[in-house]
Structure 1
Amino acid sequence: MNWLRERTAAVLMGAAVGDALGGATEGFTPAVIEERYGGRVEGIVPPFYPDWQTRRPISPYHKGDGHVTDDTLMTQALVQVYAKRRRHLDAYDVDADLVPLIMEQVRWIPELERETVLLQRIFLAEKWLVLRLRYGHIDPREAGVGNTVNCGATMYMTPVGIVNAGDPAAAYAEAIDLAGAHQSSYGREAAGVFAAAVAAALTPGADVEDVIAAAIGVAHDGTRTAIEAVVAAARANAGASPQELQAALRDAVIPFDTVGPVYREPDADARRPSRTKAIEELPIALGFLVAHRGDYRASVLAAVNYGRDSDSIATMAGGIAAALGGIDAIPRAWVDGVAEGSRIDFDHYAQLLADAAEQIIADDRERANARLARLDLLAGAA
């Protein structure tokens, strides 16, 4: 297996495992998580509520037990679009290919423990895609305007980073275009920055500092300042206890977070467009990666025990850490537990995306060579 194919498998696997581990603790505080599980979560755990089928606000989702959430299911759908088109994608491909997969393709939904269409699982902010594109016939490049601003587009952008491996700027541009069909403002911006971070991590020899430099290099407005603030806090608290570290990162992101102190009771102005705010998930994921020097296990567990939107934070941290460390960085017991619990064939999606990525990169190289030849002619003519 060549390097790109191995890292493609690692990123998809690492993100999905992080998602599954973080699903069990989503929406809760670190203190409540420790009380429920008798200490910090160290791997796959059962649902927070044993009576999850009827317990609000969790029902009817079976979170925990190695079950992936909509983060992974949306990622898999985007992989299918890349496999079909075998080229770079834009917002029109979201309309033409991703939305039909959401509405029409029956698949196993682990949290529902049954087969159904993805539309039955995704959150309202993701159902916006269907409302605006299928029923509203909105220009796909503008369909994200008006949606609640959240991490919904960011959480499934790992494939964009993979097909743009080694080129963070190109990954950012492609993700910004794609995410325009889904999100606006800092929700769209985070999608571009996360894709750039994955692409940077997929540069042979890259380390976590290269990832941070790439993310800050493309980021704008509140997303950039939030990342800078959280990363600074992570560096200052790298030797602190897990509890002190997560508190320091939360304090650093508070000025940029619109959701407020109680995750399940958002503030009145939560998730509204802004030039100065940011989603919480991406800066926190990058902060944990910095504090733990890109280590997969430590970064993902930090995200899981942070609570709040822990599944998406662990998805992002897990995808980037796996890009840096490869498949061997992901604990095998977690991989096997998630594969069994969620009925996922990791090899299937890895092969689909790796095949597409190889074609896309080969085409990029051909275009780049042709461009260089034209530049040589232009320089000579001058």
Structure 2
Amino acid sequence: MTLPPNTDVLVDKATGALAGAAVGDALGGAAEGNTPEAIQQRYGGFIEDRAALQRGLAQRPPHRPLPQGRRAHHRRHAHDLRTRRRVRHRPGPPHRPRRRGAPRAAAHGEKRWIPEFESEALLLHRIFLAEKWLVARLHYGHIDPREAGVGNIVNCGATMYAAPIGIVNAGSPEAAYAEAIDVAGAHQSSYGREAAGVYAAAVAEAMRPGASVESVVATALRLAKDGTRAAIAAVTDAARTVADWRTGLADLRRAVEPFDTVGPNYRAPAMDARIPSRTKAIEELPIALGMLVAARGDYRDAVLGSVNYGRDSDSIAVMAGSIAGALGGLAAVPAAWVEDVSAASRIDVTATGPAMAAVARDVWARDAERAAKVADARTAYAGAAA
């Protein structure tokens, strides 16, 4: 897959964001749930590229196949995109996207290729428990989407499908934050919902021409609340002292640890893990932003740092990869990685970017129409007052 340079900045940034997320997901899945030490032991050192994944192939346990084509989070982006393409306007309350998306996930006859299973299967069989909750509550339980996220485990699930919200609100982090907070209510509460808003805002800022890692971090800190803000501040401060992610993994973990509820053993969460709190945060978003700072915005280093950090490495790599991809465009994402992940996943991971950009432009046109009506009304008010 040889892609020509893209002169449409919106398309380029949107493609970089979504392809960057998909590639990060595929790489990160190889390390998920492990410590940095366990990752290095399994792969004979740091995972530096996809060749390192191949070297570890023979060492993998048979019940944990290497996710060469893993695209779980990218699939969520794609489902959100399909909803956007049908309605082509802002979702408003979480009714539209969640009522359209949940039946798709639960559809009994709609099978898709699942790389981990090496076969076609229902999407519902691939998603995690926090997302199965969404399907059960909305599709089977007929719960009001505005309340469906209450009671779910507080995790990064809602954050994972917020990148398209950031793209649609490119250059307007405040609007992205507000919309993501609204939509995420169908899935999450507390700091899980807050992270979705902050991540969407970070993507929206990264989509802005002229944005930088520092402007993304400043945007996140300006909009984040409570423990989420404190965690982002602590981790990004620590990241500024990191010269190389290879020597800074422990520093970033120490910085986020006071805000993390899961505890030191990711596979055996603490008793009070993932419950609502004003003082805690999901681990993934602060670490992703920290990796971006430590990598000085370089896509490759930000994603590889996220992968080798372990724990929820695929989610961290998705967030870091999408923001770095939005900042640098598709050229920031190594072309060989894009080709490998597309082939293994049986999906062109660059295809959603142009489609998402087209949706964004449709949404902006409708925004302009609404703004014109408001301006006309205000002009009329001014005339009536005179």
TM-score (norm 1): 0.93
Q: How many Å apart are 1:374 and its aligned residue?
A: 3.9
Q: Is the 8 A contact 1:71 1:315 kept in 2?
A: yes
When residues 32 and 4 of structure 1 are mapped into structure 2, their CA distance, relative to the original with a 3 A threshold, is same
Deviates more, 1:165-174 or 1:82-91: 82-91
Deviates more, 1:265-274 or 1:2-11: 2-11
Aligned twin of 1:87? 89
Alignment of 1:195-274 (within 5 A): 195-235=200-240, 237-239=241-243, 241-274=244-277
Deviations 1:113-143 (A, max 9, x none): 1112210100111000111111211110110
The reply to whether residue 43 of structure 1 matches residue 46 of structure 2 is no
The reply to whether residue 13 of structure 1 matches residue 29 of structure 2 is no
The reply to whether residue 309 of structure 1 matches residue 315 of structure 2 is no
Alignment of 1:1-382 (within 5 A): 1-44=7-50, 45-46=53-54, 50=58, 54-55=62-63, 58=64, 62-65=65-68, 67-89=69-91, 90-104=93-107, 105-235=110-240, 237-239=241-243, 241-378=244-381, 381=385
Letter in 2 for 1:127: K
Q: How many Å apart are 1:15 and its aligned residue?
A: 0.6
CA RMSD of aligned residues (A): 1.8
Q: Is the 8 A contact 2:338 2:349 kept in 1?
A: no
Q: How many Å apart are 1:379 and its aligned residue?
A: 5.7
When residues 47 and 148 of structure 1 are mapped into structure 2, their CA distance, relative to the original with a 3 A threshold, is farther
Matched length: 374
**CA–CA distance in 2 between the matches of 1:70 and 1:271?**
21
When residues 48 and 364 of structure 1 are mapped into structure 2, their CA distance, relative to the original with a 3 A threshold, is farther
When residues 252 and 205 of structure 1 are mapped into structure 2, their CA distance, relative to the original with a 3 A threshold, is same
Deviations 1:202-248 (A, max 9, x none): 1111111111111111111111111111111111x232x43431111
Deviates more, 1:130-139 or 1:277-286: 130-139
Q: Is the 8 A contact 2:245 2:295 kept in 1?
A: no
Aligned twin of 2:4? none
**CA–CA distance in 1 between the matches of 2:94 and 2:379?**
33
Counterpart secondary structure, 1:31: helix
Letter in 2 for 1:17: V
Q: Is the 8 A contact 1:69 1:111 kept in 2?
A: no
TM-score (norm 2): 0.92
Counterpart secondary structure, 2:253: helix
> Identity, % of aligned pairs?
56
